[in-house]
Amino acid sequence: KQEVTQIPAALSVPEGENLVLNCSFTDSAIYNLQWFRQDPGKGLTSLLLIQSSQREQTSGRLNASLDKSSGRSTLYIAASQPGDSATYLCAPPYTGRRALTFGSGTRLQVQP
């Protein structure tokens, strides 16, 4: 069974800092991994999908990396802004099903 751990659970930084959010998973037989953002009381917004054949995927100030062999993914946020404040969720595939398994997320607060 896929299990996902996200570290840190919470993070508070001043505006402008570069950040790294970490995700580890137990079942490395994955074909991709998805990162989401969730604002309080809202649904999930897809940020990036990184394929197992890729090492990195970039979208604007966001960069995700994937190391299947070590069971790790990182989300790098450059030049953080207050609007980046949200919970970030890592989601590799569910073992044996075409669905996702979620970590508990990293709650990010960017101070102006």
Partner 1 sequence: DAGITQSPRHKVTETGTPVTLRCHQTENHRYMYWYRQDPGHGLRLIHYSYGVKDTDKGEVSDGYSVSRSKTEDFLLTLESATSSQTSVYFCAISESRIQYFGPGTRLTVT
Query: What tokens does 76 get?
Result: 């790098």
Binding partner 1 by CB under 8 A: which of 57, 73, 74, 101? 101
d(CA 93, CA 61): 25
Q: Report the half-sphere exposure of 99 (CA within 13 A, side-chain side).
A: 8
d(CA 35, CA 87): 11
Scanning 14-22, 44-52, 58-66, 67-75 for contacts with partner 1 by CB under 8 A, the matching segment is 44-52
The site that binds partner 1 (CB under 8 A) totals a number of residues, namely: 24
By C-beta, is 37 or 80 nearer to partner 1? 37
38-68 burial by CB neighbour count: b if 16+ within 10 A, else e? eeeeeeeeebbebeeeeeebeeeebbbbbeb
We find the least distance from the C-beta atom of residue 25 to partner 1, in angstroms, to be 13
Scanning 15-23, 26-34, 56-64, 71-79 for contacts with partner 1 by CB under 8 A, the matching segment is 26-34
Scanning 11-19, 20-28, 78-86, 100-108 for contacts with partner 1 by CB under 8 A, the matching segment is 100-108
Can residue 19 be called a binding residue for partner 1 (CB under 8 A)?
no
What does the longest C-alpha to C-alpha distance in the chain come to?
43
Contact set with partner 1 (CB under 8 A): 1, 4, 31-32, 34, 36, 42-46, 49, 89, 91, 94, 97-105
